[in-house]
Structure 1
Amino acid sequence: MLAGHFTTALIAKQKFPKGILLYFLIISQLQDILWFTFHYLGLEPTDPSDAFDATLSNMAVDMLYSHDLAPLLFWLAIAFVIGKLLFKSTQIGLVSMVLVFVHFVLDFFSGHMHHLFGAGTMEAGLGLYASSTYLAILIEAIFSIGALWYFFRGEAKKGIIRTTKNKVSIISVFAYGIIFMSLIATRSFRELLSIPEFDLGFNTNMPTLIFTYAVMLYCLNYFVPKYKVA
């Protein structure tokens, strides 16, 4: 899941205003940030290497350390310590743990296959990106719509006023994520656009993913705080 994780950060900030939105956005994507890091450390290599060849259904990676169930216990503890130390709040530490755990739950239903600890151990996910890609995207879209509805409804109850333009901007960030995934669900950009084989040295898959996450994070951190209180 890509866009859906960010919705949990918006709700966390709404319910626990002592925290910082940027922090919640980052911690909601902790496992994916770890995945990017472990990819470059050679611990979780991700294929295909070329962004133009990649689809959700053919992306192959064993997320042993970043996403599997056993390491999750360690990342939950780390999230608690970071939240508690940064904000001097046990509550924010616990919320951080919840965001990391919810990331795992959402990936269970809409994401790559995860395991207890390694590909040969008990499966801890449905693996719908590979087996039923469009169903995985539909699950993410439904979750994102529901979470955004809950978020905007909660703001209205608190007397928070947003312009239509601002709401559209926030929703568009999530729509972009869903549309992007739909475009490359089972057909690569090379296939869709008849792109010839070439190597410019920067068309690799992982930098493209990191750029997508960074843009979404930046846009949400920019648009979400722009509101007025009645």
Structure 2
Amino acid sequence: MLAGHFTTALIAKQKYPKGALLYFLILSQLQDLLWFTFHYLGLETTTPSDAFDATLSNMAVDMLYSHDLLPLLFWLAIVFIIGKLVFKSTQIGIVSMFLIGIHFVLDFFSGHMHHVFGAGTTEAGLGLYAASPYIAILIEALFSAVALWYFFTEETKNGVTRTATNKIAIIAVFGYGLIFMLLIATRSFRELLGIPEFDLGFNTNMPTLILTYGAMLYCLNYFVPRYKIA
């Protein structure tokens, strides 16, 4: 799951305003941010290496340290300590753990295959990105729609008002993520657009993913706090 994880951060900030939105946004995608880091450390190398060749169905990575079940227990403990110390709140520590846990649950239904600890151990996911990418995207779209509906509904109950432009901007961030995945579900950009083979040194897969996540995080951190209390 790509865009859908961010919705959990919006709801966490709504329910626990003592925490920072940027903090929740980062935590909601922490496992993926760790994946990017471990990729460059040579621990979770992702293929294909060229962004123009990548699709949801052909992308391969053994997310041993960032996403597997046993390391998840370690990350849960770490984020609890960080949340408790930074915000001086046990409650924020528990919410931090929840964001990490729900990331794993959402990936179980819509994401790459994960395991207990390594490819040779019990599978801990449906692996729908590879097996049925369009079903995976549908699951993410439904989850995102319900989560955003709940988020905006609760804001209205709490007297929060947003301009139509602001709401559209927030929804567009998630729409972008879903459309991006639809475009490359089973066919690469090279195949779709007839792009020839070339290497300029910056068309590799991982920087493209990092840019996508970074742009979405920036936009949400910019647009979500822009509201008024009635």
Letter in 2 for 1:205: N
Q: 1:1-230 counterparts in 2 under 5 A?
A: 1-230=1-230
Percent of counterpart pairs with the same letter? 81
Calculate the aligned-residue CA RMSD, in Å: 0.3
Letter in 2 for 1:39: H
After superposing on structure 2, the runs of 4+ consecutive aligned residues of structure 1 that deviate more than 3 Å are: none
Letter in 2 for 1:179: I
Question: Per-residue deviation at 1:15?
Answer: 0.1
| Cα distance in 2 for residues equivalent to 1:189 and 1:81 | 42
| Cα distance in 1 for residues equivalent to 2:209 and 2:10 | 21
| Cα distance in 1 for residues equivalent to 2:198 and 2:93 | 47
Letter in 1 for 2:216: M
TM-score (norm: length of structure 2): 1.00
Letter in 2 for 1:63: M
| Cα distance in 2 for residues equivalent to 1:51 and 1:146 | 31
Q: Matched residue of 1:46: which SS?
A: coil
| Cα distance in 1 for residues equivalent to 2:18 and 2:206 | 33
Letter in 2 for 1:158: N
| Cα distance in 2 for residues equivalent to 1:194 and 1:141 | 28
| Cα distance in 2 for residues equivalent to 1:17 and 1:8 | 14
Question: Per-residue deviation at 1:94?
Answer: 0.3
TM-score (norm: length of structure 1): 1.00
Listed one character per residue, the Cα deviations across residues 82-106 of structure 1 (whole Å, up to 9, x for unaligned) are 1111101100000000000000000
| Cα distance in 2 for residues equivalent to 1:196 and 1:97 | 45
Letter in 1 for 2:121: T
| Cα distance in 2 for residues equivalent to 1:209 and 1:30 | 14
| Cα distance in 2 for residues equivalent to 1:42 and 1:120 | 19
Q: Matched residue of 1:19: which SS?
A: coil
Q: Matched residue of 1:100: which SS?
A: helix
Q: Matched residue of 2:200: which SS?
A: coil
Question: Per-residue deviation at 1:125?
Answer: 0.1
| Cα distance in 2 for residues equivalent to 1:58 and 1:28 | 25
Consecutive unaligned residues of structure 1, counting only runs of 5 or more, are: none
Listed one character per residue, the Cα deviations across residues 91-150 of structure 1 (whole Å, up to 9, x for unaligned) are 000000000000000000000000000001000000000000000000000000000000
| Cα distance in 1 for residues equivalent to 2:165 and 2:45 | 40
| Cα distance in 1 for residues equivalent to 2:106 and 2:96 | 15
